[in-house]
Amino acid sequence: MEEILRCEKISKNFMIKDPLGISKRKLTAINNISLSINQGVNTGIVGESGSGKTTLAKTLTLLVRPDSGLIYYRGNEITKLPDRKLRFFRNRVRIIFQNPYKSLNPRSTVERVIKEAMLTETKTSETVDDILSHVGLPPEYKDKYPHQLSGGERQRVAIARALVGNPECIIADEPTGSLDAMTEIYILTLLDELKKRFGLTYVFISHNLKIIAEFCERIMVMYRGHIVEQGSVEQILKNPLHPYTRLLWNPESEKFVRQQQKYNYGCPFLHRCIFRMEKCFHQSPELKDKENGHLVSCFLYE
């Protein structure tokens, strides 16, 4: 299996001010994450709001540089390459941003959005009409502004922009997050068609484990900046190991767990875990292979 992207032990911190703006503290948005994205294997990243999914997507594509750790594209280390040397990488690994309301410039027509993406491209044989046809939009849409589009159409434009430059991998950050159920199905079907037509590999980010399980072959579960479990869809579906993954399958079960204060040490999931043991207060478990590529970070399995 050919590897497209790999990161080794990447972390990203942000300095955030307290509500009064007096003191600052460090927030670790992603913590020591290692993963590989292999060609043809759709990989899902799932986790609740604030778990670090978008930060991971931006760091993997070097829109944000990690504070530590290494990033490899097709075996070459690219973590500190200057932007001018990342052109090829940026054409081959594209991102669809989380919120199409924010990511499309309200003052740019659809044509301009696509043309601007083409400016940074290495080859431009396709026309704007070609690109729009790939996402099922007629040529007349070229002259429309984002506010004249429905949510689903806007997301089609965002996908069209990601197709410019002959990509091999698209990182889609909650691509259907703001859409109704029917439109969501249209967009997922479109993404699947594009995968087949262009041989794309997706990294699909969502807070919805059920959608991820339908769309992806491999799943990574994030919690507070950590990957707490990863495995094939079958492994995560039939045998979820981490207490947080089990909670994602059955969110109602948490109603009965009294949330404890957040602890500064130990396992990141400690304050919500019904299985916590003495050890969990003092040490953070490592992500370890339980069997056949099913990894989990939890002392229950050591």
The residues binding Mg ion (CB under 5 A) are 53-54, 98
Identity of the residue, 54 or 176, whose beta carbon is nearer to Mg ion in the bound complex: 54
Q: Contact residues for ligand ATP (CB under 6 A)?
A: 14, 16, 27, 29, 47, 49-55, 98, 207
Rounded to an integer, what is the distance from CA 211 to the centroid of its chain? 13
Please answer whether residues 255 and 296 qualify as being in contact, where contact means their C-beta atoms are separated by less than 8 angstroms: no
Nearest 10 degrees: CA dihedral of 246, 251, 257, 261?
A: 90
CB of 138 to Mg ion, least distance (A): 31
State the minimum distance, in angstroms, from the CB of residue 96 to ligand ATP: 13
Contact between 219 and 212 under an 8 Å Cβ cutoff? The reply is: yes
Alpha-carbon gap, residue 260 to 282, rounded angstroms: 16
Question: 301 is in the binding site of which of Mg ion, ligand ATP, none (Cβ under 5 to 8 A by kind)?
Answer: none
Nearer to ligand ATP, 99 or 108 (CB): 99
**Closest approach of Mg ion to the CB of residue 49, in Å:** 7
* Residue 59 touches which member of Mg ion, ligand ATP, none, C-beta under 5-8 Å by kind: none
| Residue number with CB closer to ligand ATP (48 or 111) | 48
Which residues lie below 8 Å from residue 250, measured CB to CB, with a gap of 6+? none
| Nearest to ligand ATP of 76, 261 (CB atom) | 261
Choosing among Mg ion, ligand ATP, none, which partner's interface includes residue 207 (Cβ < 5 to 8 Å by kind)?
ligand ATP
- Shortest distance, position 30 Cβ to Mg ion, whole Å: 12
Nearer to ligand ATP, 114 or 247 (CB): 247
Residue with token string 């993406």: 117
Closest distance to ligand ATP from the beta carbon of 49 (Å): 3
Instruction: Write down the least CB distance from residue 187 to Mg ion, Å.
Output: 17
Please state, in angstroms and rounded to a whole number, the distance separating the CA atoms of residues 64 and 232: 28
Helices 181-198 & 151-163 angle (0-180, nearest 10): 20
Residue 47 interacting entry, from Mg ion, ligand ATP, none, C-beta within 5 to 8 Å by type? ligand ATP
Instruction: Give the Cα separation of 212 and 177 in Å (integer).
Output: 12
For residues 216 and 57, the answer to whether their CB atoms sit within 8 Å is no
50 binds, among ligand ATP, Mg ion, none (CB under 5 to 8 A by kind): ligand ATP
In contact, 13 and 177? CB cutoff 8 Å? no
Number of C-beta neighbours around residue 191 at 10 A: 22
Task: State the nearest-atom distance from the C-beta of 43 to Mg ion, in Å.
Answer: 16
What are the tokens at 106?
Answer: 């309200």
User: Which one, 27 or 237, has the nearer CB to ligand ATP?
Assistant: 27
Of 50 and 136, CB closest to ligand ATP: 50
